[in-house]
């Protein structure tokens, strides 16, 4: 009597592995794909070309099916009777091995593409200082007594100072007859350096020097700072002769907020009546800072080094966008599935030749 088998029974060695493989991939997609889709998902791949390896998955499934078809067969006189019996529970696990291997290949390929996730941001605690560089752009800063000019020498020293920093948030304020924020506190030193490098005399009205206003704007940049060390470094070559905020008022605000003011008198001004070193000394002393004179570029550099050595390091928190490496989770899952497949093959679905 000829055994009458259904289409499912005839082709189950093809259908079941494919169904298992598809089901496992859909399950994996439900877990991992939501983070890969959408412009704001935060997922990116460092080596996206490795994803072409997913084209190997159908070949893995086909190889598994072919392996099952070529398995050894035992001639038995009661084969027809045995064929009518219900399938054992182990036979239902046979297609699972093919699906597992296809999923393992998929996970390894995704791991090789090095997925990164920006949604796994962590707070980066760093020791640093909040510093506002306050630079005089009044007309007298064009003096060439510090070659090529006071302002150009100051810019070179400030740029070198910025480039040497690592964890300090730095902002910049420029002033002459009035004061303006050039750059708020930032850890993006490249942007800050570019803005300082492009500074030129004449960008603001430069016929007077408003030191009080400059301090007021600088203090406002630090008012909401949570750093333990808050510092203003003021570079000027003159006295305060303009503005609607007096230096004395600004210094009282700085003292209240715990801001130290370091003052640097730039240039050779021994016989000039346009300077007031006593004012700069008083401002530094009242806030716990220090006063320096810089008659040449080397003294200006030395002033910055001394200031940094005296500052207390404090903890600040930066929450920039950071991409976390997440390929490890895919490799770990592939390893677990590989162990499961090995257990199924060697122990559960062990076959007799």
Element counts in the chain: helices (H) and strands (E): 11, 11
Same structural domain, 296 and 330 = no
| Per-residue pLDDT, 97 | 72
2 part of a folded domain: no
| Per-residue pLDDT, 12 | 56
Same structural domain, 100 and 169 = no
| Per-residue pLDDT, 59 | 74
Same structural domain, 157 and 89 = no
Number of domains in the chain: 2
333 part of a folded domain: yes
Cβ-count burial of 1 within 10 angstroms (0-12 exposed, 13-18 middle, 19+ buried)?
exposed
Its domain, for residue 340, covers 7-121+325-348
| Per-residue pLDDT, 4 | 46
Per residue of the chain (353 residues), give pLDDT as tens: 444 445 545 555 556 556 656 655 555 555 555 444 444 456 778 888 888 877 777 777 777 666 655 555 555 565 565 555 555 555 666 667 777 787 888 888 888 888 887 655 444 455 578 999 999 999 999 999 999 999 999 999 999 999 888 888 999 999 999 999 999 999 999 999 999 999 999 889 888 999 999 999 999 999 988 888 899 999 998 888 998 999 999 999 999 999 999 999 998 876 555 678 899 999 999 999 999 999 999 999 999 988 878 775 555 544 455 667 888 888 898 899 888 888 877 776 665 55
Same structural domain, 67 and 42 = yes
83 part of a folded domain: yes
The contacts of residue 1 (CB under 8 Å, 6+ apart) are 80
Same structural domain, 151 and 189 = yes
Cβ-count burial of 349 within 10 angstroms (0-12 exposed, 13-18 middle, 19+ buried)?
middle
Same structural domain, 282 and 164 = yes
| Per-residue pLDDT, 69 | 55
With beta carbons less than 8 A apart as the criterion, state whether 228 and 312 touch.
Answer: yes
| Per-residue pLDDT, 37 | 44
With b for 16 or more beta-carbon neighbours within 10 A and e for fewer, the 167-180 pattern comes to ebbbbbbbbbbbbe
Same structural domain, 248 and 205 = yes
CATH at 260: 3.40.50.410
């Amino acid at each position: 009597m000829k055994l009458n088998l259904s289409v499912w029974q005839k082709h189950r060695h093809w259908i079941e592995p494919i169904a298992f493989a598809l089901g496992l991939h859909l399950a994996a997609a439900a877990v991992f794909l939501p983070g890969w889709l959408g412009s704001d998902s935060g997922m990116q791949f460092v080596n996206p070309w490795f994803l072409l390896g997913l084209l190997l998955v159908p070949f893995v499934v086909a190889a598994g099916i072919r392996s099952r078809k070529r398995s050894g067969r035992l001639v038995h006189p009661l084969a027809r009777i045995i064929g009518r019996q219900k399938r054992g529970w182990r036979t239902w696990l046979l297609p699972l091995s093919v699906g597992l291997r296809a999923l393992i290949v998929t996970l390894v390929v995704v791991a090789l593409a090095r997925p990164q996730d920006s949604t796994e941001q962590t707070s980066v605690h760093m020791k640093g200082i909040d510093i506002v560089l306050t630079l005089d752009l009044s007309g007298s800063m064009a003096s060439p007594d510090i070659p090529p000019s006071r302002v150009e020498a100051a810019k070179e020293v400030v740029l070198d100072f910025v480039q040497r920093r690592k964890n300090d948030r730095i902002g910049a304020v420029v002033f002459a007859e009035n004061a303006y924020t050039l750059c708020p506190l930032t850890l993006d030193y490249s942007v800050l350096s570019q803005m300082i490098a492009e500074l030129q005399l004449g960008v603001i009205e430069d016929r007077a020097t408003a030191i009080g206003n400059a301090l007021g704007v600088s203090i406002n940049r630090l008012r909401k700072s949570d750093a333990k060390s808050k510092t203003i470094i003021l570079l000027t070559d003159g006295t305060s002769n303009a503005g609607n905020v007096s230096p004395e008022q600004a210094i009282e605000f700085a003292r209240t907020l715990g801001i130290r003011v370091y003052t640097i008198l730039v240039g050779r001004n021994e016989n000039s009546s346009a300077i007031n070193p006593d004012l700069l000394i008083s401002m530094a002393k009242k806030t716990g800072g220090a006063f320096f004179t810089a008659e040449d570029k080397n003294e200006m550099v030395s002033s910055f080094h001394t200031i940094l050595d005296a500052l207390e390091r404090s903890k600040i928190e930066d929450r920039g966008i950071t991409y976390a490496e997440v390929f490890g989770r895919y490799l770990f899952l592939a390893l677990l599935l590989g162990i499961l497949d090995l257990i199924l093959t060697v122990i559960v679905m062990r076959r007799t030749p």
